[in-house]
Amino acid sequence: TSLGLNHPASTERISSGVAQLDARLGGKGFFRGSTILISGTAGTGKTSLAAQFALAACERGERCLYLAFEESPAQITRNLASIGLDLRPVIANGNLHLRANRPTFYGLEAHLAVIHQAIAQLKPTVVVLDPVSNLSLGMPTFETKAMLMRLVDYLKGSDVTAVMTSLTRIDSDLESSEVGISSLIDSWIVLHYQEVAGRRSRILSVRKSRGMAHSDASCVLRLSEHGIELTDVA
């Protein structure tokens, strides 16, 4: 299933769906066909950022496959509505395909085959995997990394933009990802909690984004009923 290193490299840029994040990515967003990792501790906004990216793509008329390994489609739709992200219209018009399976339902090879079949059937331009760290449950890290490497090769070869979220344990190093794929991806966003002005705030930083200028300044990520907002650290 691996295409090696012969995949194309698009120069087209696509919005993350968050204007302030695009501004931190040279003002233009991510490269089409790239692979994006959003990692962070629990509750820091990984799913919210991934879903915002998917929703923005769908509202542009693109097709997105959202693979959830932790919550049901109904849970995801309800929870995101609380921050102003309404997925129902793009589900209804067929642009967003939201599928959920427990990571232990299949082995890694079967997960890979199911994902290939879904991409071949739907021909999406964007794929979200939320969270890929769940795929490592009961599996050696090297096997999960090998599977994800093959998946990344396939997605790049198909010119599909991929967003993967990954849960980081509180006692883990923020500079590493739980499934060891940070070196495989093109853009890496890290989220964590920090005390700012006496309050616990979500902090976002762009660890890397290959081939483009990007900000090295951390910012505060706020979630409200009006959506996602990024502001400078006070």
Listing DSSP states for 73-100 in one string gives HHHHHHHHHTTT---HHHHHTTSEEEEE
pLDDT of residue 2: 52
pLDDT of residue 209: 93
Burial code of 116-133, b = ≥16 C-beta within 10 A, e = fewer?
eebbeeeebbbbbbbbbb
pLDDT of residue 191: 95
Q: Taking Cα atoms as reference points, which of 206, 204, 152, 205 lies closest to residue 180?
A: 152
Average pLDDT over the chain reads: 88
Is the predicted pLDDT of residue 118 greater than 90, yes or no? yes
pLDDT of residue 233: 82
Mean pLDDT to the nearest integer, 8-36: 93
φ, ψ at 126 (rounded to 5°)? -135, 135
Token output for 92: 């209804």
pLDDT of residue 120: 92
Is the predicted pLDDT of residue 161 greater than 80, yes or no? yes
pLDDT-derived band at 75, boundaries 50, 70, 90: very high
pLDDT of residue 83: 96
Neighbours of 200 (CB within 10 A): 9
Mean pLDDT to the nearest integer, 7-34: 92
- The tens digit of pLDDT for each residue in 124-146 reads 999 999 988 877 766 667 788 88
pTM: predicted TM-score of the whole model, two decimal places: 0.89
- The tens digit of pLDDT for each residue in 205-217 reads 999 999 998 999 9
Give burial (CB, 10 Å; 0-12/13-18/19+) of 79.
Answer: middle
108 within 8 A of 101, measured Cβ to Cβ: no
pLDDT of residue 8: 72
Is the predicted pLDDT of residue 59 greater than 70, yes or no? yes
Worst-scoring range by mean pLDDT, 12-16, 99-103, 167-171? 167-171
Is the predicted pLDDT of residue 178 greater than 70, yes or no? no
Is the predicted pLDDT of residue 108 greater than 60, yes or no? yes
Question: pLDDT > 70: what percent of the chain?
Answer: 88
Mean pLDDT to the nearest integer, 6-32: 91
Is the predicted pLDDT of residue 201 greater than 80, yes or no? yes
Token output for 128: 């979200």
Q: Peptide bond before 131: cis, by omega within 30 degrees of 0?
A: yes
93 or 172: whose pLDDT is higher?
A: 93
pLDDT-derived band at 181, boundaries 50, 70, 90: confident
